[in-house]
Structure 1
Amino acid sequence: MPVTVFRDGGVYFIRFSVSRRPRRAAFVVGNFTAFMKPIELEFCGSDYCAYVLLPPGKYYYRYLIDGEVILDDGSTENGFNVLKLSGFVRKVREVRRRLFSAIYGIFVDRFGCKREGGPRDRLGGDLVFIRDRLSYIRSMGFDAIYLTPIFRAMSYHRYDVIDYLNIDDDLGGNKAFKELLRSAHDLGIKLILDLPIHHTGSEHPAFKAALNGDPEYSRWYYIYDGDYEKFMNVKRMPKLNMKFAGEWVKGIVLHWSLIGVDAFRIDVGAGIPPWFLWELKNFINKPLIAEVWGDPFLWRNAVDGVMNYQVWEPLIKFLDNKISTDELAYVLKRQLRLLPRYFLLNSWLFADTHDTPRAITMLNNDIEKFKAALVFIYTWIGTPMLYYGDEVMLEGGLDPDNRRCMDWKRINDPNSLGNFIAKLTSLTIAPKRIVINSNELIYYDDEYEVHLSNEPRSYRDGLLSGSYFIIRSR
C-alpha cells in the first residue's frame, strides 16, 4: 500500500492507495483530515486511491477499509503511519489578479495543415509547427496559448480521448510536446491544455471494460438499460461519473501539471459538478477555466474563470443590430453584481471559438464591426482569447466549417490585424462604470474610456478608433 509523493514548488501532491478491494468503503484518515473521514479512496484502475495536496510538515495517517484499520509498512506512532514532508512553508496561490494578458487559441490539427482532406479528416497540423510559430504568436502580445486536445483520441478534434497520459503520435508525441513547452516558456508564453474529462472516447479501455461488465469500471460511467449517458447524444463520447472516477481524473491532471503545463481548460465544464471542479482546483493549485455556456453563477467559486459565452452571444448580436444597447448592458451589469471581480478578470472573452461560427462571418465580413468586437474583448473585464485565424479574418460557419486551415499567406496582407491586436494588448483598462447613450455603450476607468456602437459614427483621433468604436484617454 505505497504512498507516492510528488513535489512541485513548495507543496506536495500525495497519492494514498491500497490494493485491497473494499466491500463498502475505504478511507485515508490523518491529522490533515482532523482524524475524521472525509477522504474516500476510489477505484483508480489498478488500485484504490485518493490524491491530496499538502504543504511541508509532519503528518499521521492510516487507512480504514470496511471499518478495519490498515497501516502501511514504515514508521508508526500511536497507531498511525508517519509522513514527513520537508521544506519551508510558502504562501499558496490565490487568484486575485488576471493570470494571463492575452491568450491565443489553437485548433491543433488545423493550424498548420499538411495535406488535403474533408472537414472532419486529420489534415496534419502538429506541435512542431506550433513551436516554430511561437515568435509570431508572441509578436502580437500573447503570453499564453490554449491548445485543443492533444491526447491520443479517435477523431481529428480529439475530444474523444482513448489515452490521457500520452500525446497523439500524429501531433509528434510526448517528445514534441515537451519541446513545445520548453520553447514556449523560454519566450514567456504559458501553455493551457484542453481537458475533455466530462466524457472519454468510446474506445477508451475503461469504457470497453465497463461495457463488458467490470463492476468497478462500470461505476465510472452511467450505463443502464442497454444504453449510457453521452455528451450531446454522441455515442463515441460516454459521460464520466465524477463521484467514482474523480480520483483517476486528478491523477491525469497531476501528471501534466508536473510536466509543466501552466493551466487547464475544462471541456464541457457546465456538465461537471461544481463540487468536483472545486476539489480539482484546490488540489492541483493551478488555474482552471471551465467551458460554460449560459449563466456561470454556479461555477463562480468552483473554478478560476469560465469561457464567457454569456457575454459572447449578446456582444455579437449587438454589433449585428439584433439586440439593443440596453440588452447588452443588462448582461454586463448582471455579471458585475453577481460574480467576483477576480473570477470575471480570469474569464475568457472572445469573438469566436472552435464551437461557434467565425465572427467575421457572423458580422457579414464587416471588418470595422469585427475590430469593434476585438476592442471589446480586450478592454472589458476579462481575459481576451483570440481564436487562431482571427488576425487574418479567417471565415467559417458552423462546426466543422469554423475549423478551416490557417491561411498563412494572409498574415502579411495590409488588411491583417496583427498590429491592431498588438496595440490592444498594450492597453490596460479596468472598467468601473457603464453608460448607455442610445445605441452606444460607454465604459471607463480613471485613465481610459471606450465607446462601442452598432451604428457607424464619426469617431476620430483617440488612441484607437474606427467606425464603431473609439478608445480615448480621460
Structure 2
Amino acid sequence: MKYHFASIIVLLTTLVSCSGKKAGEVENHWPYAGITYEIFIQSFYDSDGDGIGDFNGVTKKLDHVKELGANAIWFMPIMPSPSYHKYDVTDYKAVHPDYGTMEDFKNLIKEAHKKDIKIVIDLIINHTSSEHPWFLESKSSRENPYRDYYVWAQKDTIADFINKKTITLDSDNIRQWHDPGFGEDFYYGFFYGGMPDLNFDNPKVREEIYEIGRFWLEEVGVDGFRLDAAKHIFPDDRPEDNHAFWKEFRQKMQAIKSDVYLVGEVYDRKEVVAPYLPGLPALFNFDFHYTLIEAYQKEDGMLLAKKQKEVLDFYLDITKDFIDATFSSNHDQQRLLNSLDQNPRKMKQAINILMTMPGAPYLYYGEEIGMLGLKPDEHIREPFLWDIKANDKGRASWIDPVHSIDDMVTPLAIQKSMSTSYFNHYKEIIKLRNSNRALALGNLELYEGELAQPLMAYFRSHKDQAVFVAHNLSDVEQSLEIPEEYQKVLYTFGSADLQDQKVKLPAYSTIVIERQ
C-alpha cells in the first residue's frame, strides 16, 4: 500500500511519540486529526433563565463536550450584532451582551483549557453589519475618512450590474450592489444589503483586521479562528488576490501566536478550494458532506471513499501541510438525520464513516442526540434538549422549535441511560477513533477487490498499525473477503461479523478489523 498524507503523518508521529501514550489509550490528535464540536451558543444552555444560551451555560456543560470525546469547540459568532445569527458584526472587540460579559467568556476559555479543550471563534471579516460605526461613517459622505473602508461605485458605472442575478453555492442573493437611500452611490454587499463588504484593497482595512485578530488571540486568549466567507474577501474574479491575502493573514496571526489555528470556509469544489491551503491550513471539506449524502441516496458505497482519496491526493499536490476539516452536517445544512430519511441505522453508520475516515472531523451540536431540523436556518439551529421539558431548566427558549421537540427527539439525560442511544453510539465510535492511531492518523487506501455496489471498504495504516474498515450502505445483507492478516475485530455495528476471512455485513452495518 502507498503512503499518502505522508508529511502530516510524520508531524503527527513526532507529536504522538512525545506524548507518552501507549497504543490503545485515548489521545488528543487536535488540530491535525482531532475532533471539534460546533456550538451555536444561543441554543446551547441557558444559565440565567432569559431564554437565550450563554457563555456560563457552555462553561457548565464543558463536561458534556469532554465526555463526548471532542478536543475543541468552534463557536458560531459571539460578537455584537443586530441579527440572531450574528454574522453581521457591529463591534469586533466585544461580545454580544445576550451571551454574557467578556469576563464570562474569558472564564469559559480558562475552564475549557483546564479540560484540554481548545476554543475557536467565528471571525467574520468579509463584511460588517450595515449598523457598524465604520459603515455609518462611510455612507455619510464621499469625503469621510471611512469611505474607502467599503466598496462604493456611482450608479451609472454599475448600471449593467445592479439587477444582475448571481446565485452561487453559498448565496442565493440576487443582487450585490445596494442603494443606501441616496440614489447616486451604491455599495457592494455580496450576501445582502445588511452586510456591506469591506474593501481589502485599502491597507487601513487590512491593518484593522490584523489588530482585531491580535486582540482575540493575545488579550482574550482564543486558540484560533474559523474564517467565514473566505472565498469572497475579493470578488470571485480575483482568486489570486484572495490567496495572497490569506497567506498574509496567516503570517500576521502566526507572528502573534505561533500555533494559531485557522480554518476557512471556502464553499466550492476541490479545484477552487485547494489553492487556499497555503494561507488557510485547515479548510472545510464540503465534498465530504455532500458525497456522504449522495452515497446513501444512490447506495453507492465507494462513491465517498473514492472522492475522499481524490480530494486528499489533490491537496497534496498543493501543499504537504494541511488539515482536512471533514463534517457530516453543520449550521447551514439540514440536520443529518433529516438528510438520511430519519433512519436511525443510517444515522449511526454515518458517524462511523466520518470517524473512520482521514481528516479532522467537526460535529454539529445536537447531532449526538439525533436532533432534527430543516430550513429555514433558524430551525436547523433549535435549542439543545438536555432533559425532558419539565426538568430542563437550561433549555433555551428564544425560538419555538418545530423539529427538535420532546415528541421527536429523546433528550440527553434519557439517552445516557440507553445503551443503544445516539449519544452512547457517538461516544463509542469517537473513543475507538481517539484510541487507534491508524484510524486517527493513518493514510487512506481503497479496497481493490470485488465489491457489491452498496459496500464501502478501505484500509487505514499508520506506522506498524493497520485496520480494515467496511460499511454496507443498503438494507440488504452483503459480504466480501479480506486479506488473511486482518483477523482482530475491533468494532462492529449492526451485527457485522467475520468468519474465515469472510465479512458479513447486514443492513447498514460497519466493521473495523485490525491487522495482526
- Please indicate the TM-score interval, normalised by the length of the shorter structure: 0.7 to 0.9
Q: Structure 1: which 4+ aligned runs deviate by more than 4 Å?
A: 94-98, 113-116, 341-345, 457-462
Q: Which runs of 5+ in 1 are unaligned?
A: 1-93, 117-121
Alignment of 1:88-127 (within 5 A): 96-97=11-12, 99-100=30-31, 101-112=34-45, 123-127=51-55
Partner secondary structure for residue 121 of structure 2: strand
Say if 1:191 and 1:231 are closer, same or farther in 2 by CA, change over 3 A: same
Q: Which of 417, 433, 445 is equivalent to 2:460?
A: 445
Of all paired residues, the percent bearing the same amino acid is 26
TM-score, scaled relative to structure 1? 0.74
Q: Which of 262, 270, 273 is equivalent to 1:288?
A: 262
Whether the 8 Å contact between 1:463 and 1:471 is mirrored in structure 2 is yes
Residue of structure 2 in register with 1:336 after alignment: 312
Do structure 1's residue 182 and structure 2's residue 110 form an aligned pair?
A: yes
TM-score, scaled relative to structure 2? 0.68
Say if 1:264 and 1:471 are closer, same or farther in 2 by CA, change over 3 A: same
Do structure 1's residue 276 and structure 2's residue 245 form an aligned pair?
A: yes
Do structure 1's residue 403 and structure 2's residue 381 form an aligned pair?
A: yes
Residue of structure 2 in register with 1:32 after alignment: none
User: Any idea what the Cα deviations from partners look like across 1:22-71, whole Å, max 9, x if unmatched?
Assistant: xxxxxxxxxxxxxxxxxxxxxxxxxxxxxxxxxxxxxxxxxxxxxxxxxx
Q: Choose between structure 1 and 2: higher strand proportion.
A: 1
Separation in structure 2 between the aligned mates of residue 388 and residue 343 of structure 1, nearest angstrom = 31
Say if 1:198 and 1:315 are closer, same or farther in 2 by CA, change over 3 A: same
Say if 1:190 and 1:141 are closer, same or farther in 2 by CA, change over 3 A: same
Q: Choose between structure 1 and 2: higher helix proportion.
A: 2
Higher relative contact order (CA 8 A, sep 6+): 2
Partner secondary structure for residue 129 of structure 2: coil
Residue of structure 2 in register with 1:26 after alignment: none
Residue of structure 1 in register with 2:6 after alignment: none
Alignment of 1:70-469 (within 5 A): 96-97=11-12, 99-100=30-31, 101-112=34-45, 123-213=51-141, 214-224=143-153, 225=155, 226-232=185-191, 234-244=192-202, 245-258=205-218, 259-272=220-233, 273-285=242-254, 286-295=260-269, 296-321=273-298, 324-325=300-301, 327-340=303-316, 346-398=323-375, 399-409=377-387, 410-411=411-412, 412-413=414-415, 414=418, 415-426=420-431, 427=433, 428=437, 429=439, 430-435=442-447, 437=451, 438-446=453-461, 447-456=466-475, 458=477, 462-466=490-494, 467-469=508-510
Whether the 8 Å contact between 1:288 and 1:304 is mirrored in structure 2 is yes
Partner secondary structure for residue 441 of structure 1: strand
Q: Which runs of 5+ in 2 are unaligned?
A: 1-8, 13-28, 156-184, 234-241, 255-259, 388-410, 480-488, 495-507
CA RMSD, Structure 1 to Structure 2 (Å): 2.5
Whether the 8 Å contact between 2:56 and 2:108 is mirrored in structure 1 is yes
What is the total number of aligned residue pairs between the two structures?
374
User: Any idea what the Cα deviations from partners look like across 1:392-425, whole Å, max 9, x if unmatched?
Assistant: 1000012121011111121132253233222222
Separation in structure 1 between the aligned mates of residue 340 and residue 328 of structure 2, nearest angstrom = 10
Deviation of residue 140 (structure 1)?
1.1
What amino acid sits opposite 2:44 in the alignment? F
User: Any idea what the Cα deviations from partners look like across 1:194-247, whole Å, max 9, x if unmatched?
Assistant: 111111111000011111124442222112233222132x11111112222111
Deviation of residue 315 (structure 1)?
0.8
Separation in structure 2 between the aligned mates of residue 260 and residue 223 of structure 1, nearest angstrom = 35
What amino acid sits opposite 2:310 in the alignment? R
Separation in structure 2 between the aligned mates of residue 343 and residue 271 of structure 1, nearest angstrom = 25
Separation in structure 2 between the aligned mates of residue 473 and residue 281 of structure 1, nearest angstrom = 39
What amino acid sits opposite 2:232 in the alignment? G
Whether the 8 Å contact between 1:161 and 1:200 is mirrored in structure 2 is yes
